[in-house]
Amino acid sequence: MSAEQVLAQADLIIVASIGGIDVRPPGNGESMVVTDYSLLIDQVLFDRDGSLESQIEAGTFKLSFGGGEIEGRRMLIPGVPIFDQAEKLILFIDQEQMGTISPLVGLSAGDYRVSATAEPGGLVVGPTGMILRRSFFSESDDRPSGFTLDDFIDEIRRALPIAQTDPTLNSEAVKDRSTADAAVHTGSQIPRATPLAPGVSPVPSQGTVVPRHDSTKPPNPDEK
């Protein structure tokens, strides 16, 4: 999913930091850990119809994600982000996905963060975990020094009207939710996640396509 599609499809764009983390263990018919994040809102950059901004109470907004860490163990869902206390974020939120394993556009495609280890004040890190170096609608890395938070806010404001008026970016055909069953709050509908020890990467999901032939040897032309 492209950054331009994320920009076009977002219903709410906020700058916030993590003010609190509440992890709910499996139980009451639920089969996975759910993490509730209390976000301290710095700025609301965009709210499509005003309905989400109205849910912000005393500068705090709560978002829930499937998975999380509890009692020293992680339950990870591929594609769903996990945030740390006090982490600074720029989030692109999809209103239709509120209450699912990820309320962000494209699961984690709407997850941008401010690196605390880069330049003074931090540089913006994209969904891939790399410092963002490309402006919206640019075909190359036109910002080799990266974006500060203020730079990125200005870039969002510049590009947002362009993205919103491009019908090819906001059609159903380009919407991407790579997890088929996204419900997290109703027991039997909750997809199971794999509990992992800290530092262990998740295994591929059952939806991973396995090559038919062994990649270490050429396929037999007579094999069908």
Domain for residue 180, yes or no? yes
- 166-187: string of b/e by CB count within 10 Å (b at 16+)? eeebbeeeeeebebeebebeee
Domain for residue 219, yes or no? no
- Please state the domain count of the chain: 1
Using DSSP bridges, classify how beta strands 73-76 and 88-93 pair: parallel, antiparallel or unpaired: unpaired
CA–CA distances in Å: residue 178 to residues 109, 138, 182: 11, 25, 9
CB 171 within 8 A of CB 4: no
CA–CA distances in Å: residue 7 to residues 11, 90, 113: 9, 12, 15
Cβ burial of 84 (10 Å; 0-12, 13-18, 19+) is exposed
Tokens representing 96 are 């239709």
Domain for residue 11, yes or no? yes
Strands (E), 11-140: 12-24, 34-47, 60-66, 68-70, 73-76, 88-93, 111-114, 124-125
Domain for residue 58, yes or no? yes
Domain for residue 176, yes or no? yes
Tell which residue, 114, 119, 41, has the closest CA to residue 83.
Answer: 114
Residue 107: CB atoms within 10 Å: 26
Q: State which H helix or E strand residue 194 sits in.
A: strand 194-196
Domain for residue 190, yes or no? yes
Q: What is the pLDDT of residue 80?
A: 95
Residues of the domain holding 162? 3-196
The upper half-sphere exposure of residue 5, i.e. CA atoms within 13 Å in the direction of its Cβ, equals 17
Q: What is the pLDDT of residue 50?
A: 86
Tell which residue, 128, 137, 47, has the closest CA to residue 95.
Answer: 47
Is 84 strand, coil or helix? Answer: coil
Domain for residue 208, yes or no? no
| pLDDT per residue as tens digits for the range 136-169 | 999 999 999 999 999 999 999 999 999 999 989 8
Domain for residue 134, yes or no? yes
- With a cut of 50, list the residues of the chain below it in pLDDT: 173-174, 178-224
How far is the C-alpha of 123 from the C-alpha of 190, rounded, in Å? 36
pTM, rounded to two decimals: 0.76
How far is the C-alpha of 109 from the C-alpha of 105, rounded, in Å? 6
